[in-house]
């Protein structure tokens, strides 16, 4: 059985106190209990949006020095507040009794090497298809700038291994998303919403490139690195201020 942190703490989201209380009864802090709710919602969204099938893919979020992560082999629609699963940055389980995702080495590698607070891994169809064709997603759209530049493909390695985590880190250097050859996608962000949105954008770009490249006798026009740099500069001032 995993090590448990004792004590039930008060706190919880208004209107969602029962769910938060159940997670806290398992040793989670109020912040961890709320983060677990958001993590489960994000995991379920990957299924609803067709980015994963069954229990493939996984989601994590960092709260302080604890990483909350989806457990291995459990359908997301069955996850409950009491299933909260958390580990330290060195992989020691401190919350829950369910076995963490087999891709834990990949998630922890991101947190130890970047300022990420959330990671989303999927087996999205179009992105996985692209990962089998090219070493880097061609610059089909300027939204590549939102991921830090051209999206690289990490060489294949067996799932759940340190080798795969190492390949992924090299592909993520200077990026917030990459493809895993014959496997899927990894994105990270400062929030679960941001990490998820980056996954969705990556899958969409892969779909656009595959669609354009499939037209017989024609090749899609691609952006230059200079054009992408111009977009990167504009994105720094994008969105609402204040």
Show which residues are catalytic: 103
Tokens of 196: 């998820």
DSSP, collapsed to helix, strand or coil, labels residue 85 as: coil
Residue 236, C-beta contacts closer than 8 angstroms, at least 6 positions apart = none
Phi (first) and psi of residue 24, to 5 degrees: -65, -30
CA 142 to CA 150: how far, in whole Å?
10
CA 7 to CA 23: how far, in whole Å?
11
Question: Assign residue 124 a region: left if phi > 0, alpha if psi is -120 to 50, beta otherwise?
Answer: beta
CA 29 to CA 66: how far, in whole Å?
11
Torsion angle defined by CA atoms of residues 207, 210, 211 and 213, in that order, rounded to the nearest 10 degrees? 150
Q: Which residue has the tokens 């985590």?
A: 165
Half-sphere exposure (Cβ direction) of 242: Cα atoms closer than 13 Å: 0
């Amino acid at each position: 059985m995993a090590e448990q942190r004792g004590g039930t703490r008060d706190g919880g989201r208004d209107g969602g106190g029962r769910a938060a209380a159940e997670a806290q009864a398992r040793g989670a802090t109020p912040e961890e209990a709320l983060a677990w709710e958001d993590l489960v919602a994000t995991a379920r969204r990957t299924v609803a949006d067709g980015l994963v099938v069954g229990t493939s893919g996984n989601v994590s979020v960092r709260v302080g020095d604890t990483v909350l992560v989806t457990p291995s082999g459990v359908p997301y629609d069955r996850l409950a507040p009491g299933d909260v699963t958390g580990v330290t940055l060195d992989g020691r389980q401190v919350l829950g009794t369910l076995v963490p995702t087999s891709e834990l080495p990949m998630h922890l590698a991101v947190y130890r090497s970047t300022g990420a607070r959330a990671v989303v891994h999927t087996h999205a169809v179009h992105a996985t298809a692209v990962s089998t064709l090219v070493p880097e997603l061609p610059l089909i759209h300027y939204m590549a700038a939102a991921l830090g530049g051209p999206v690289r493909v990490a060489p294949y390695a067996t799932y759940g291994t340190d080798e795969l985590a190492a390949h992924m880190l090299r592909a993520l250097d200077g990026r917030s998303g990459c493809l895993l050859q014959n496997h899927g996608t990894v994105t990270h962000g400062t929030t679960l919403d941001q990490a998820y949105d980056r996954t969705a954008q990556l899958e969409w770009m892969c779909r656009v490139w595959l669609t354009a490249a499939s037209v017989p006798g024609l090749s899609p026009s691609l952006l230059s690195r200079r054009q992408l740099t111009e977009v990167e500069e504009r994105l720094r001032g994008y969105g609402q201020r204040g």
